[in-house]
Amino acid sequence: MVLARSGSCDVFSELIGAKGRDVLYCGDHIYGDILKSKKIRGWRTFLVVPEMTHELYVWSARRDLHQRLQVETADFDRRNAGWFCQFLMDVDPWVDWGTCTFSV
């Protein structure tokens, strides 16, 4: 395994004799680092998202609220599925809706 930081991708490829899927490129810029490296060079890519640290903390610290929201949303969907199906059939009577069901 070779670990490199910054520099020219052409020089890097020649230096280690690797190309395409031989290289795993890590970067934090979706276009400049990840998409170009994958599309132009054929490298495997790994996107680093620093903001995810805070998001994961909030998600795990408030897991109880997220679970409650999921339950409430599922209950709301179940209670309103019939109304929504009727609404769709009223709005577009030309479509053969058959039996309208929801899976929640």
Residues 16 and 36 in one domain: yes
Tokens of 81: 């599925």
The answer to the question of residue 104 being in a domain is no
Q: How many alpha carbons lie under 13 Å from residue 31 in its C-beta half-sphere?
A: 0
> What total of structural domains would you count in the chain?
2
Q: pLDDT for 22-74, tens place per residue?
A: 888 888 777 777 777 788 888 888 888 888 888 888 888 988 988 898 898 88
Residues 32 and 60 in one domain: no
Residues 32 and 62 in one domain: no
The answer to the question of residue 43 being in a domain is yes
Residues 15 and 42 in one domain: yes
Between 58 and 5, the higher pLDDT residue: 58
**Would the pLDDT of 104 be above 60?**
no
Residue 2, pLDDT score? 64
Residue 95, pLDDT score? 61
Full residue range of the structural domain in which residue 31 is found: 9-48
Residues 33 and 18 in one domain: yes
**Would the pLDDT of 7 be above 50?**
yes
